[in-house]
Amino acid sequence: MSSLRQALSGAGAVLLAVHPTLAQTAETSAPTNASAPPPLLWFLISMLVLVLLVFWLILVALLAWMRPQLRQIYDLPTVHDTWSGRVLGLLVGDARLVKGEVRDELLDHDYDGIHEFDNDLPPWWKYGFVLTAIFAGCYLTYYHVLQNGQLQGAEYAAEMQQAALMVSTTSDDPNQLTTYTALTAPAELSSGKSLFATNCAPCHGANAEGKVGPNLTDEFWLHGGEVNHVYKTIKFGVNGKGMVAWKGKLSGKQILQVSSYILSLQGTKPANAKPPQGEKEAPAKTLAAR
């Protein structure tokens, strides 16, 4: 009895060990069955390509077999010079419909031994010119006369407006201007001075006179001289102009301290100041915060 019990317990252990393996096999086999449609799709596409190829070969063989009869029809005077006859000529090797008439008639003048033939322009060129003229007329009427469509400038402005709506209006949104007021407390300006000396002086000079970066002590600004514009420039930087973004290196309060310190330097006229750059604005200290 005990031996039977041991045998049953051993069989149960084997089943428990095999069961996860069977489950994993079933799970891994499911994607294989799910991926069955793609081979069927490729088979249908291959059959379609094969049918088209066979149809093309039959058509080419039929045209080659009927070419003498088509040539006789093409040579008829009532067919040869018609537009449909020129289309038929493409099937028998005459490309007048594409290349035009080649008369090889010399004009009665030459220059430096160079003679000019009196041949027609290729029909494909004439058709293309006519289509271009029609397109230009439709474009002019639609965009400039009726003004139903947007020109490039208006289309660009509309796309930029749509893109701005898709950007989140959080504190990290460069399109959302802050509403800070410039700090005036001596302790805040002192902190801003220390931060400026450590991070900004290498490019703008110890006294903000301008080195690689612009002079920050005059009335001219490249990206706005109000405290919130200066804050935005420091936080997000200026792509392609060498001004890096400091939002990951300075806190919001530190950026405001630096911005306020920069505005406190207005009109200090340091030595060796860099020439003005940008647009002239009223002294930033008199501007109200937005």
* Helix, strand, or coil (residue 116): strand
* Cα 75 to Cα 176: distance, rounded to the nearest angstrom: 77
* Cα 96 to Cα 234: distance, rounded to the nearest angstrom: 69
Q: Is the pLDDT of residue 191 over 90?
A: yes
Residue % of the chain over a pLDDT of 70: 79
* Overall average pLDDT of the 9-13 stretch: 51
Nearest 10 degrees: Cα torsion 196, 198, 199, 205 = 60
Question: Tokens 């030459």, residue?
Answer: 110
Lowest model confidence (mean pLDDT) among 41-45, 119-123, 139-143, 246-250: 119-123
Contact by Cβ (8 Å): 143, 149: yes
* Cα 54 to Cα 60: distance, rounded to the nearest angstrom: 10
Average pLDDT over the chain reads 79
* Helix, strand, or coil (residue 117): strand
* Overall average pLDDT of the 155-167 stretch: 76
* Cα 189 to Cα 75: distance, rounded to the nearest angstrom: 97
What's residue 175's pLDDT?
Answer: 74
* Cα 89 to Cα 82: distance, rounded to the nearest angstrom: 10
What's residue 40's pLDDT?
Answer: 86
Q: Regarding predicted confidence, which is higher, 163 or 28? A: 163
What's residue 182's pLDDT?
Answer: 92
pLDDT band at 166 (very low <50, low <70, confident <90, very high): low
Q: Is the pLDDT of residue 36 over 70?
A: no
Q: Maximum CA pair distance of the chain? A: 126
What's residue 20's pLDDT?
Answer: 45
**Sign of the CA dihedral running 248, 250, 251, 253:** negative
What's residue 10's pLDDT?
Answer: 52
pLDDT digits (tens, 9 = 90+) for 58-111: 988 887 888 888 878 877 877 777 767 777 777 777 777 677 666 667 777 777
pLDDT digits (tens, 9 = 90+) for 261-281: 999 999 999 998 999 888 888
* Cα 221 to Cα 260: distance, rounded to the nearest angstrom: 15
What's residue 112's pLDDT?
Answer: 79
Q: Which of 227, 201, 224 is nearest to 212 (CA)?
A: 201
Compute the 3-state secondary structure of the chain and give helix, strand, coil in percent, each to the nearest 5: 60, 5, 35
What's residue 93's pLDDT?
Answer: 72
What's residue 197's pLDDT?
Answer: 95
* Cα 231 to Cα 256: distance, rounded to the nearest angstrom: 6
* Overall average pLDDT of the 172-198 stretch: 89
Residue 218's φ and ψ, nearest 5 degrees, are -100, -170
* Residue-wise DSSP of 155-207: HHHHHHHHHHHHS--STT-TTS---------HHHHHHHHHHIIIIIHHHH-TT
What's residue 47's pLDDT?
Answer: 93
**Sign of the CA dihedral running 52, 53, 58, 61:** positive
Residue 13 exposure: Cα atoms within 13 Å on the Cβ side? 6
Domains identified in the chain and CATH numbers: 38-99 (no CATH), 186-286 (1.10.760.10)
What's residue 37's pLDDT?
Answer: 59
Q: Is the pLDDT of residue 18 over 80?
A: no
Q: Is the pLDDT of residue 19 over 50?
A: no
What's residue 262's pLDDT?
Answer: 95
* Helix, strand, or coil (residue 19): helix
DSSP E strand stretches across the chain: 106-111, 114-117, 220-221, 279-280
* Overall average pLDDT of the 122-148 stretch: 91
Q: What is the DSSP letter of 118?
A: -
What's residue 283's pLDDT?
Answer: 61
Tell if the pTM clears 0.95, that is, is over it: no
Q: What is the DSSP letter of 285?
A: G
* Overall average pLDDT of the 171-188 stretch: 85
